[in-house]
């Protein structure tokens, strides 16, 4: 279980860091040019591509077994950390309230982003099917 926790924390940290960098670039460069929904639609494939391969690296690095429980726990812990990090950034940097953070999911671009975050959480589990098939 310790390896699952370590892998989840590293998974969160890597994806959160990239998301913070890309999110800043999206807000300052893409949104004025394309609008918020199109900007997120441009950013999401990059985030998911990185997340998929970073997840693959971490599950191998920390030898996370392909059994569903461990993979789901890795994804769930990383997702919980990601949502907590997003909420803290929203509250602290944007000087809002927690209720304001939850209200932003009413916007289409944030719903798309949430879909990407759910996919991020499911990647460890989805990759376990390939690992089982490959005999890892």
CA angle 128, 42, 20 (to 5 degrees): 75
d(CA 90, CA 102): 10
Terminal CA-CA length for the chain: 18
CB 74 within 8 A of CB 124: yes
Report which of 57, 68, 66, 67 is spatially closest to residue 7, judged by C-alpha positions.
57
Determine the average pLDDT of the residues in 117-125: 97
What does the pLDDT look like over 72-108, one tens digit per residue? 999 999 999 999 999 998 888 877 788 888 888 899 9
For residue 124, count other CB atoms closer than 10 A to its CB. 29
């Amino acid at each position: 279980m310790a390896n699952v926790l370590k892998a989840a924390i590293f998974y969160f940290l890597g994806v959160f860091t990239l998301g913070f960098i890309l999110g800043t670039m999206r807000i300052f460069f893409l949104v004025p040019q394309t609008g918020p929904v199109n900007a997120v639609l441009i950013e999401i494939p990059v985030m998911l591509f990185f997340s998929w391969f970073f997840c693959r690296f971490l599950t191998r690095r920390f030898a996370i077994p392909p059994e569903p429980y461990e993979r789901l726990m890795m994804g769930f812990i990383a997702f919980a950390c990601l949502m907590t990090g997003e909420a803290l950034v929203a509250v602290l940097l944007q000087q809002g309230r927690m209720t304001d953070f939850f209200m932003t999911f009413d916007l289409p671009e944030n719903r798309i982003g949430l879909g990407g975050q759910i996919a991020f959480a499911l990647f460890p589990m989805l990759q376990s099917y390939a690992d089982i098939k490959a005999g890892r």
